[in-house]
Amino acid sequence: MDLVPSIEGLLLGDKGYLSAPLKAELQQQAIQLETPFRANMQDLRSPRYLELLQRTRRLIETVIGQLSERFSIEKVWARDLWHLVSRLNRKLLAHTVCYWLNRHRPDPLQFEFLVSP
């Protein structure tokens, strides 16, 4: 619970966080945990809601993948907090600028042809 002290509302998780006790504990902190169900579980949520959750999760995973692969966010070697935060901010800003430059394309997260056609 150390990770969610300032979160309120909806929290998306993967199947690894599928746990009734965890969900109940988070509800006590005003957090609604949404996870995909396993194949053998019955899901009573509406199909439109499930599609929205899936699209949102896919977008989050795409951005995390780009930050890992293209911007090497996992390899931020810094000796102190100030340099760590500075380097992370630069990488996040670079990703945001790439998205902004592609904002009029059908898929603005497609960075392959940003520099060359």
Residues β-bridged to residue 9 = 31
Strand 9-12 versus strand 31-34 pairing type: parallel
Query: Percent of the chain beyond pLDDT 70?
Result: 94
Q: Where are the domains of the chain?
A: 1-40, 45-117
The answer to whether residue 117 scores a pLDDT higher than 80 is no
The answer to whether residue 1 scores a pLDDT higher than 60 is no
pTM of the predicted structure, to 2 decimals: 0.72
The answer to whether residue 90 scores a pLDDT higher than 90 is yes
In tens, the pLDDT along 11-64 reads 888 888 888 898 898 888 888 888 888 888 888 889 999 899 999 999 999 999
State how far the alpha carbon of 83 is from the alpha carbons of 26, 39, 49, 76, 94, in Å. Answer: 33, 44, 41, 9, 16
